[in-house]
Amino acid sequence: MNKIKIANTYVGNNYPPYIIAELSANHNGSIERALKTIYAAKKAGANAVKLQTYTADSMTINSNKDDFRIKTGLWKNKKLYDLYKDASTPYEWHEKLMLYAKKIGITCFSTPFDEAAADFLKKLKVPAYKIASFELNDLELIKHVSKNNKPIILSTGMSNLDQISNAIKTVKKTGLKKIVLLHCVSGYPAPNKDFNLSTIQDLKKKFNVIVGLSDHSKTSIAANAAVSLGASVIEKHVKLDNDENGYDSKFSITPNELKELCQQTYSTWETIGKINYKLKKSEKESIKFKRSLYFVKDLKKNQIITKDNVRKIRPGYGLDPSYYKKIVGSYVNRNISRGTPVKKKYLYDK
């Protein structure tokens, strides 16, 4: 599929990169901060802002067993239940956040982490759904969401090719064809060396769907490279400022950085363009200075043209150099002064 439509915006190979600003836990428990982040994402040029819809109880159980405690990384020693309780976006915020997004002109949708969350979002009439990398193996959830017949965005972090294929097959079995596949490295933050962005082209070839990147790195390098390789969607976590110390702030970018990413990825996409061998608008002045054939000595009428009195030089007002061998040995039909461009009208036939 070459394009889909999310809300009022087309997404696909022939359209500018679709930039999703991920709010995630960067509201830090404040709806006012969440609203300000949505406004900042709009001002920076993002196409959409995305929420996450879950509760601690829908994600895990409140257990003190070792299995339920994070051992390494940003959230080391944190209990899963406590992490999700602190990081979640309250259900009662969703409608207000979405109405505000609509008011200021930015699309807003969310990631449901279970069927009840998907049903809740359906009531809010979200224009699309995202399935997180950690839930890509939950085929029942994917099936449930797909039945809503809205664009579905699947993130592929930690998934092998068979798991990705199973998720896509599950979507297609419901009749839904509006699929976006996001290449993803589920490291927080993800190092550039792990991205293997060549995978983007392979995903497009294997599954014939729109492909993008869910980017957990600290810079826009991966996003720009991904666009150059055919990514149509970029998802990036966004925070209000660098003073934040929230759960996701270490792999999130500021509004100014988001603005740069939007501008840079658009420029990258614009630079790629299409296959085109025609003269470009910006070349119309330069073409005057291509090489062409010029008389480099004064000639009298009926004088023969030789290698001594004609050369291939700049500028480009004379005949193309490909005529060089054809005109050597011809005769001029008038007097010619040095520095005159060679034209067919000045020549007798051989």
The values of phi and psi at residue 68, to 5°, are -100, 20
Domain ranges of the chain: 8-272, 281-348
pLDDT at 246: 81
Query: How confident is the model at residue 1, as a pLDDT?
Result: 65
Cα–Cα distance, 171 to 178 (Å, whole number)? 9
Q: 281-348 is classed in which CATH architecture?
A: Alpha-Beta Complex (3.90)
d(CA 138, CA 130): 13
pLDDT at 350: 55
Region 8-272: CATH code: 3.20.20.70
Taking 50 as the pLDDT cut, the residues of the chain under it are none
Whole-model pTM: value is: 0.90
The pLDDT value recorded for residue 167 is: 98
Contact 200, 231 (CB under 8 A): yes
pLDDT at residue number 324: 97
Q: How far is CA 229 from CA 47, 78, 153, 201, in A?
A: 20, 38, 19, 6
Give the pLDDT score at 2: 85
Element (H, E) at 5: strand 3-6
Q: What pLDDT is attached to residue 240?
A: 93
